[in-house]
Copies of this chain bind each other. A is one copy, B any other.
Amino acid sequence: MTSVFDAATTVVPDGAGRYRADLGAGWSIGGGLNGGYLLATIARAVGAAVPGKPDPLAVSATYLSASRPGPAEVDVRVLRDGGSVATASAELRQGDDVRIAALASFGDLAGADAEGGFRTSALAPDLPPLEQCVSNKAAPVDLETATLLSRFDMRFHPDDVGWAVGRPDGSGRLRAWFRLEDDREPDVYALLLVLDALPPVSFTHGAMGWAPTIELTAHLRARPAPGWLRVVHASRTTSAGLFEEDCEVWDAAGRLVAQSRQLARWPRP
């Protein structure tokens, strides 16, 4: 039984460096399809083009126009594939429109699971037990324009959701437990989705509009253990109408398995 996520990110080779995708209407949020979902789809195409390099290590994407449900192509150009890292550029297109341009480096994260292969001074976020957190299923949103919310089970830290009841705390921080629907366990592709799955931290400042991503770079550091993930989004600076959003994803073994930073446009009032 193929999970909803795997089905929706499937790519089919269609000649030299080209992959076809069928973007799912079930991943809509705000004005288009979710950026993490699109990032995972692009990475699937790059991964298919660099056999022997199973894991995305770094993926940078610049978002040019909002993607729509339906057919899309991903054109992959392998720039270098030698030694332990392969690098490619990729463009996701719909018709004549380039939706996303990306650069991706792939390699092998198996070494992260070896003795001494993972060393960190990072501390996992403090989240109350699941049952004390606030579920996204309680969100007062229109599920027809935010189909994305049905894809996940998210449980927010109760201190971080004042904005949902009209009391934004201005913290610039969101913390949540995260799990895909149909209990699909996380892997490196799912992590690319998770890095852009939470609402924008601009919500914590009471700015409830859409915050379009200009650029997002993801680094994957280890293959995640099965189980619930913990996700933290944080921002410190808004300047010239732009803010950064740092995301960290922690697996059930307490490891920082992925991190990203995006530059996004502050929502228009």
Interface membership of A58, Cβ < 8 A: yes
> Do B103 and A62 touch across chains, with their CB atoms under 8 A apart?
yes
Knowing A65-B80, A89-B89, A263-B219 are in contact, say whether A107-B240 is a contact too (CB < 8 A): yes
Cα A80 to Cα B64 in complex, Å, equals 7
> Do A214 and B105 touch across chains, with their CB atoms under 8 A apart?
yes
A106-128 vs B, Cβ < 8 Å mask (1 yes, 0 no):
01111110000111111000000
Knowing A60-B217, A64-B87 are in contact, say whether A222-B236 is a contact too (CB < 8 A): no
Chain A residues 82-97 with CB under 8 Å of chain B are 84-85, 87, 89
Contacts of A263 in B (CB 8 A): 57-58, 105, 219
> Do A240 and B79 touch across chains, with their CB atoms under 8 A apart?
no
> Do A120 and B237 touch across chains, with their CB atoms under 8 A apart?
yes
> Do A240 and B117 touch across chains, with their CB atoms under 8 A apart?
yes
Contacts of A119 in B (CB 8 A): 237-239
Interface membership of A68, Cβ < 8 A: no
Contacts of A239 in B (CB 8 A): 109, 111-112, 117-120, 221-222
Contacts of A32 in B (CB 8 A): none
Interface membership of A161, Cβ < 8 A: no
Knowing A62-B58, A122-B237 are in contact, say whether A215-B214 is a contact too (CB < 8 A): no
> Do B101 and A101 touch across chains, with their CB atoms under 8 A apart?
no
Cα A64 to Cα B104 in complex, Å, equals 12
Contacts of A70 in B (CB 8 A): none
Cα A117 to Cα B237 in complex, Å, equals 10
Cα A89 to Cα B215 in complex, Å, equals 13
Contacts of A121 in B (CB 8 A): 172, 236-237
Contacts of A256 in B (CB 8 A): 236-237
Interface membership of A241, Cβ < 8 A: yes
Knowing A89-B89, A105-B214, A261-B217 are in contact, say whether A111-B64 is a contact too (CB < 8 A): no
| Chain B min CB distance to A204 (Å) | 12
Interface membership of A242, Cβ < 8 A: yes
Nearest first, the 8 closest Cβ-Cβ pairs linking A and B are A60-B60, A111-B240, A58-B215, A120-B237, A217-B217, A122-B236, A112-B240, A221-B239
11 contacts between A and B (CB under 8 A): A57-B215, A58-B263, A84-B241, A105-B215, A108-B240, A117-B240, A118-B237, A118-B239, A120-B238, A236-B256, A244-B259
Known A80-B98, A120-B236; further 4 A-B contacts with Cβ < 8 A: A62-B87, A103-B215, A105-B214, A105-B263
